[in-house]
């Protein structure tokens, strides 16, 4: 009986070691933009690369995130048109790197100095209807965008304020960003 009890306790100990030390799953937030307490889904994103500004070493890019109802149509590797109904977030962003959005924190520049790691002329549109050109437009007037790239995936978080009532506009996106060379 003593041998059975020792074997049983050893088996229980081994089970605790193997099953008690399971790896914690990484919790990834949803791809969303939140405005005034309401969440709007984001499903895709792209970068429009416009090239290096002639006055500096900074690269002009557009970061465009959008929901599943928005469709991007291509012709010859360029964006031909956009259709559908959904939600969009648009940032004109000035990166130190070309064709890819460089890692780091980008801050809103209300003076349009086009300095490295800044953004300006940015907005979001909720319920954007590309057939009727209607939607709920909010211009971004302050904030920051944080970019991290890992392989082909980007992790983008933003915390901004819009123009009319100064309401908070926050968001998270993790996924690939298709790059279009527009220069």
Average pLDDT over residues 120-141: 96
What is the C-alpha to C-alpha distance for residues 74 and 182, in angstroms, rounded to an integer?
Answer: 13
pLDDT tens digit string along 171-180?
A: 999 999 999 9
pLDDT tens digit string along 59-108?
A: 999 999 999 999 999 999 899 999 999 999 999 999 988 778 999 999 99
What is the C-alpha to C-alpha distance for residues 108 and 92, in angstroms, rounded to an integer?
Answer: 10
Distance, CA of 61 to chain centre: 14
What is the C-alpha to C-alpha distance for residues 172 and 43, in angstroms, rounded to an integer?
Answer: 11
What is the C-alpha to C-alpha distance for residues 149 and 122, in angstroms, rounded to an integer?
Answer: 21
* Predicted model pTM: 0.83
Torsions phi, psi for 5 (to 5 deg):
-65, -45
For the cut 90, the answer to whether the pLDDT of residue 166 exceeds it is no
- Sorting pLDDT into bands at 50, 70 and 90, what band is 118? very high
């Amino acid at each position: 009986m003593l041998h059975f009890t020792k074997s049983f306790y050893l088996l229980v100990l081994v089970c605790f070691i193997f099953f008690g030390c399971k790896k914690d799953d990484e919790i990834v937030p949803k791809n969303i933009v939140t405005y005034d307490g309401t969440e709007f889904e984001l499903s895709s994103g792209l970068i429009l690369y416009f090239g290096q500004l002639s006055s500096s070493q900074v690269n002009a890019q557009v970061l465009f995130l959008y929901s599943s109802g928005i469709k991007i149509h291509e012709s010859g590797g360029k964006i031909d048109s956009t259709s559908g109904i959904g939600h969009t977030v648009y940032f004109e962003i000035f990166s130190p790197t070309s064709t890819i959005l460089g890692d780091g924190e980008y801050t809103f520049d209300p003076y349009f100095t086009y300095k490295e790691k800044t953004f300006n002329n940015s907005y979001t549109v909720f319920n954007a209807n590309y057939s009727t050109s209607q939607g709920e437009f909010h211009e971004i007037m302050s904030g920051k965008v944080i970019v991290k790239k890992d392989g082909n995936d980007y992790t983008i978080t933003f915390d901004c304020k819009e123009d009319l009532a100064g309401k908070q506009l926050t968001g998270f996106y993790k996924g690939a960003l298709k790059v279009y060379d527009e220069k």
